[in-house]
Homo-oligomer: A and B are copies of this chain.
Amino acid sequence: MSEQEKLPQSSTPDGAAGSPGDRRRFLKTAVGSAIAAGTGIAGGALAATAPLQHSEVRHWDGETDLLIMGSGIGGIAAAIEARRQGMSALVLEKFNVLGGSSALSGGVCYMGGGTPLQKALGFEDSTQAMHDFMVAASGVYAPKEKIAVYCDGSLDHFDWLVENGVKYAQRFSAEKELSHKAASLYYCGCEKSYPFRNIAHPAPRGHVPPAENQTGGRELMTFLIAAARRLGADIRTEVDVERLVMESDGSVAGLRVMENGRTLHIRARKGVVLAAGGFVHNSEMMASYAPDLNRCRPRWGHAGHLGQGILMGMSVGGRTRIMDHGFSVLPLYPPEDVLKGVVVNGQGQRCITEDTYYGVMGHEILVHQKGRGYLIVDAACDYPALDYRVVIAARDDTIAGLAAKLHLPPGVLEETVAYYNKYAAQGQDPLFGKAPPFLAPLQKGPYSAYDLSPEKAFYAVQTFGGLETNVDGEVINAWGEAIPGLYAAGRTSAGIPVSPYYASGLSIGDGSFFGRRVAKHAARRKA
Chain A residues within 8 Å of B, Cβ to Cβ: 34-36, 38-50, 139-141, 145, 284, 288-289, 291-292, 294-295, 311-312, 314-317, 319-324, 347, 349, 367-370, 409-412, 415, 419, 430-432, 468, 470-472, 474, 476-482
CB distance from A272 to the nearest CB of B (A): 16
Cα of A36 to Cα of B472 in the assembled complex, Å: 14
- What are 27 A-B contacts defined by CB distance under 8 Å? A36-B480, A36-B481, A39-B474, A39-B481, A40-B472, A43-B468, A45-B478, A45-B479, A45-B480, A46-B479, A139-B370, A140-B291, A314-B319, A315-B477, A315-B479, A316-B317, A317-B317, A319-B320, A321-B323, A323-B323, A349-B349, A367-B367, A367-B368, A368-B369, A368-B370, A412-B419, A415-B415
Q: Which of A347, A412, A478 has the most CB of B within 10 A?
A: A478
The 6 A-B residue pairs whose C-beta atoms are closest, nearest first, are A45-B480, A314-B478, A409-B430, A315-B478, A140-B291, A40-B470
The interface residues of chain B lying within 8 Å CB-to-CB of A477 are: 314-315
Cα of A462 to Cα of B69 in the assembled complex, Å: 38
CB distance from A71 to the nearest CB of B (A): 23
CB distance from A414 to the nearest CB of B (A): 11
Closest to A291 in B: B140
- Supposing A39-B470, A145-B40, A430-B409 touch, asked if A289 and B480 sit within 8 A by C-beta, the answer is no
Cα of A324 to Cα of B320 in the assembled complex, Å: 12
Q: Taking the full assembly, how many copies of this chain does it contain? A: 2
Is the CB–CB distance between A43 and B315 below 8 Å? Answer: no
Is the CB–CB distance between B295 and A43 below 8 Å? Answer: no
Closest to A411 in B: B419
Is the CB–CB distance between B314 and A43 below 8 Å? Answer: no
Cα of A315 to Cα of B476 in the assembled complex, Å: 11
Is the CB–CB distance between A347 and B431 below 8 Å? Answer: yes
The interface residues of chain B lying within 8 Å CB-to-CB of A411 are: 419
The interface residues of chain B lying within 8 Å CB-to-CB of A141 are: 291
Closest to A46 in B: B479
Is the CB–CB distance between B321 and A288 below 8 Å? Answer: yes
The interface residues of chain B lying within 8 Å CB-to-CB of A419 are: 411-412, 415
Q: A36-B482, A367-B367 are in contact. List 10 more A-B contacts (CB 8 A).
A: A44-B480, A45-B478, A45-B481, A48-B479, A50-B478, A50-B479, A314-B477, A316-B317, A324-B324, A409-B431
Is the CB–CB distance between B370 and A41 below 8 Å? Answer: no
CB distance from A37 to the nearest CB of B (A): 10
Is the CB–CB distance between A39 and B482 below 8 Å? Answer: yes
The interface residues of chain B lying within 8 Å CB-to-CB of A471 are: 40
Partner among B44, B415, B480 whose Cβ is within 8 Å of the Cβ of A39: B480
CB distance from A60 to the nearest CB of B (A): 23
Closest to A324 in B: B324
Is the CB–CB distance between B478 and A49 below 8 Å? Answer: yes
- Supposing A145-B40, A468-B43, A470-B39 touch, asked if A140 and B295 sit within 8 A by C-beta, the answer is yes
Cα of A40 to Cα of B294 in the assembled complex, Å: 31
Is the CB–CB distance between B321 and A43 below 8 Å? Answer: yes
Cα of A292 to Cα of B40 in the assembled complex, Å: 30
CB distance from A296 to the nearest CB of B (A): 12
The interface residues of chain B lying within 8 Å CB-to-CB of A472 are: 40
- Supposing A145-B40, A292-B140, A370-B368 touch, asked if A49 and B319 sit within 8 A by C-beta, the answer is no
Cα of A50 to Cα of B316 in the assembled complex, Å: 12
The interface residues of chain B lying within 8 Å CB-to-CB of A40 are: 145, 470-472
Closest to A284 in B: B480
The interface residues of chain B lying within 8 Å CB-to-CB of A44 are: 480
Cα of A411 to Cα of B423 in the assembled complex, Å: 11
CB distance from A106 to the nearest CB of B (A): 28
Closest to A410 in B: B430
The interface residues of chain B lying within 8 Å CB-to-CB of A288 are: 321, 468
The interface residues of chain B lying within 8 Å CB-to-CB of A482 are: 36, 39
- Supposing A50-B479, A324-B324, A409-B430 touch, asked if A319 and B145 sit within 8 A by C-beta, the answer is no
The interface residues of chain B lying within 8 Å CB-to-CB of A284 are: 480
